[in-house]
Chain A
Amino acid sequence: MTALVAILLRDTRVAVRIGGGALMAVLFFLVVVTLIPFALGPDLALLQRIGPAILWLAALLASLLALDRLFGGDHEDGSLDLILMGRAPLELVVLTKGIAHWLTTGLPLVCAAPLIGLILDLDARAALALVLTLLVGTPALTFIGLVGAAIAVTLRRGGLLVAVLVLPLAVPVLIFGVAAANAAIAGPVSFGTPFTVLCALTLASFVVGPFAAAAALRQEIE
């Protein structure tokens, strides 16, 4: 347990200090979303309609941004060797690293979403629904991303490979995330249906992600 707490504290600390990736994701998210109204023009009805989809897409791309640092940093400085040797089960260590990564990249996105929703003319109800879907859905993106990050860990420029591996797997999360947000805003489907599926995807990723990532790390490090 101490080992896992130590990992959580270290990873969040490294991420928020200079050179860490915590701010990058949320800044990228803000930049992408801010650019959309400039590209589409001031058509408020259109922005409102496609707002949830834009925010979700931006969140997906932003969460990919820091993924290759998830294990890459530990691999380069030799920490990963000691972690693999350690007494703490690798699956739990990977799970903890995923949680630390989400706390420093996913959670800031969720917090920034309602503010940035103003640019897309989302009202309070729509913003709330959107934040809820992001809060539930972004952990799934992180935990699916864990697997890609683990597979690409030994590659020096693995960032692009991670994106190519992870994006197709993230499609269901994107579909149900946007569907739930849209359902809350415009109907006709009830919010609960797609939202429950989104929750299920997240729970499944909690289980599958750490095991698959741990297996990939063991294989990869040879």
Chain B
Amino acid sequence: MRLSATDLACRRGGRDVFAGVSFAVASGDALLVTGRNGAGKSSLLRMVVGLVRIAGGRLALAGGDPELSIGEQAHYLGHQDALKPSLSVVENLRFWTNFLGSGDAGLDEPLAALGLDALADLPAGYLSAGQRRRLSIARLLAVKRPIWLLDEPTSTLDATARERLTGLMRDHLAASGMILAATHGDLGLTGAQELRLGDQRLALQGEAPA
């Protein structure tokens, strides 16, 4: 499986966010998207899953399921945790596994992997920011999808949870998964490619008519 982008351009609210972005990621590889605030890291990830319109260029997935779009074969971990505060931890996870389509068998294992098994019956509204983030990461384990798109996954996590996440990402890559992560810090993935956004934008501004 190979995800490739050629000359992608993004335009939001009448403003060019980036243009001419190209990358290729194969199964077992990770791509770290870096760049300053507003460089378009989140927009790029959202574009890959189809939540932001592609203003130019091409995005293709070779070797995937031709019946499904890229977004339907991917997990997207955004800034928001997609949890309902009035539902319990396990109810939230059960909803997403059912919705994403893999039944609700084996929810204990993902919860345990993220250290949430003791909190399973607590309403999600009582969780801390880091625990909420861990619960939404549990979704990635409960439903198997080959592509993970992670938008600053470590932003609210403590050191232990970060190490845990690094371990989970390595396992995912070892199982020939694919990761695209927008990040400011080090995710602890060795041998990952890096895509720096922002440099293209400067070039664009230079070209723009006054």
Task: Give the interface of A toward B (CB within 8 A).
Answer: 2-3, 5-7, 9-10, 13-14, 17-20, 73, 76-79, 81-88, 221-222
The interface residues of chain B lying within 8 Å CB-to-CB of A10 are: 84, 87, 91, 95
Interchain CA distance A78-B51 in the complex, whole Å = 12
Q: Which of B79-93 contact A (CB under 8 A)?
A: 79-87, 91
The interface residues of chain A lying within 8 Å CB-to-CB of B52 are: 222
Interface size for chain B: under 10, 10 to 19, 20 to 34, or 35 or more residues?
20 to 34
Q: Which 9 residue pairs across A and B have the least CB separation, nearest first? A: A78-B80, A6-B98, A17-B86, A85-B71, A78-B82, A79-B82, A10-B95, A6-B99, A3-B99
Q: Given the interface contacts A3-B98, A5-B98, A222-B53, does A87 sit within 8 Å of B82 by beta carbon?
A: no
The interface residues of chain B lying within 8 Å CB-to-CB of A222 are: 12, 52-53
> Would you call A77 and B51 a contact (CB within 8 A)?
no
1/0 per position for B97-133, CB-CB distance to A under 8 A? 0111101000000000000000000000000000000
> Would you call A18 and B86 a contact (CB within 8 A)?
yes
Interchain CA distance A73-B85 in the complex, whole Å = 11
Query: Whole-angstrom distance from the CB of A135 to the nearest CB of chain B?
Result: 28
> Would you call B79 and A78 a contact (CB within 8 A)?
yes
The interface residues of chain B lying within 8 Å CB-to-CB of A88 are: 99
> Would you call A82 and B103 a contact (CB within 8 A)?
no
> Would you call B82 and A77 a contact (CB within 8 A)?
yes
> Would you call A14 and B87 a contact (CB within 8 A)?
yes
The interface residues of chain B lying within 8 Å CB-to-CB of A2 are: 98-99, 101, 103
Query: Whole-angstrom distance from the CB of B76 to the nearest CB of chain A?
Result: 6
Interchain CA distance A20-B87 in the complex, whole Å = 11
8 contacts between A and B (CB under 8 A): A3-B100, A6-B98, A79-B82, A81-B80, A82-B100, A83-B99, A87-B68, A222-B52
Task: Give the interface of B toward A (CB within 8 A).
Answer: 12, 46, 49-53, 68, 71-72, 74, 76, 78-87, 91, 94-96, 98-101, 103
**Residue of B49, B53, B78, B100 with highest tally of chain A CB at under 10 A:** B100
Q: Nearest residue in A to B98 (C-beta to C-beta)?
A: A6
The interface residues of chain B lying within 8 Å CB-to-CB of A17 are: 86-87
The interface residues of chain B lying within 8 Å CB-to-CB of A19 are: 85-86
The interface residues of chain B lying within 8 Å CB-to-CB of A81 are: 46, 51, 76, 78, 80, 82
Interchain CA distance A77-B53 in the complex, whole Å = 21
**Residue of A10, A81, A82 with highest tally of chain B CB at under 10 A:** A82
Interchain CA distance A81-B53 in the complex, whole Å = 14
Q: Given the interface contacts A10-B84, A10-B87, A19-B85, does A85 sit within 8 Å of B50 by beta carbon?
A: yes
Interchain CA distance A149-B109 in the complex, whole Å = 38
Q: Nearest residue in B to A7 (C-beta to C-beta)?
A: B99
The interface residues of chain A lying within 8 Å CB-to-CB of B68 are: 87
Query: Whole-angstrom distance from the CB of B12 to the nearest CB of chain A?
Result: 8
Q: Nearest residue in B to A78 (C-beta to C-beta)?
A: B80
Choose among B12, B71, B86 the residue that contacts A20 (Cβ–Cβ < 8 A): B86
The interface residues of chain B lying within 8 Å CB-to-CB of A82 are: 76, 82, 96, 99-100
Interchain CA distance A3-B94 in the complex, whole Å = 11
Interchain CA distance A85-B46 in the complex, whole Å = 10
Interchain CA distance A86-B94 in the complex, whole Å = 15
> Would you call B84 and A77 a contact (CB within 8 A)?
yes
Choose among B51, B78, B81, B98 the residue that contacts A221 (Cβ–Cβ < 8 A): B51
Interchain CA distance A221-B78 in the complex, whole Å = 14
